[in-house]
Amino acid sequence: MIIYSKDKTMIKIRIKNLKKFTPWHKQEFGDARGTWVVGDLHKYIKDNKLELQSFSVKELAKNNLDPEDGTETSDGSEEGFESRAHSSDLKYPIVVVEYPDGLWIADGVHRAWKARNNKQEKIMGYLLDWEDDLLNIEHDEPSEESKDSPY
């Protein structure tokens, strides 16, 4: 990106501090069977007219909100995760996948973290079944990171 400025130092600082976030609809969720694009999950939800429902934040926290298990940003910092979570908007529903061992968040971990941090008991979202729904949504091969998943 080119930023025009008379002060070349300012140009370097601005470029260095640009943060690259993947747009929400292009983010991915995966398990040992494949990798799904979040935008495709939302399209499936809309096309199949899935009902919005209420989830227990406490129940979601069991599998999803451990600070030592993925609650960090792409730069590896927990502070970056918390900053992004604090700025997330709870008016947008999350997407949850039901696996045999519980509920896993496919889209909305930052929002769920914020809800828990705000001592909210419930959060709104959509539920997908790990077999009936996920396998009917277009997906790619599993990522290296997801190949060791039990599902």
CATH number at residue 105: 3.90.1530
* Residue 11 domain flag: no
Residue 126 lies in a domain: yes
In a domain, 6, yes or no: no
Closest CA to 61 of 99, 100, 133, 117: 117
In the chain, the N- to C-terminal Cα span, in Å, equals 41
Which of 30-34, 69-73, 74-78, 145-149 tops mean pLDDT?
A: 30-34
Q: Would you state the pLDDT for residue 81?
A: 81
Classify residue 101: in a domain, yes or no.
yes
Residue 60: domain span:
28-136
DSSP reduced 3-state for 38: helix
- Asked if residue 18 belongs to a domain, the reply is no
pTM: 0.77
DSSP state of 17: T
> How many structural domains comprise the chain?
1
Asked if the model's pLDDT at residue 54 lies above 50, the reply is yes
Give per-residue pLDDT as tens, 99-120. Answer: 998 999 999 999 999 999 999 9
Q: Measure the CA–CA gap between 39 and 93, rounded to whole angstroms.
A: 13
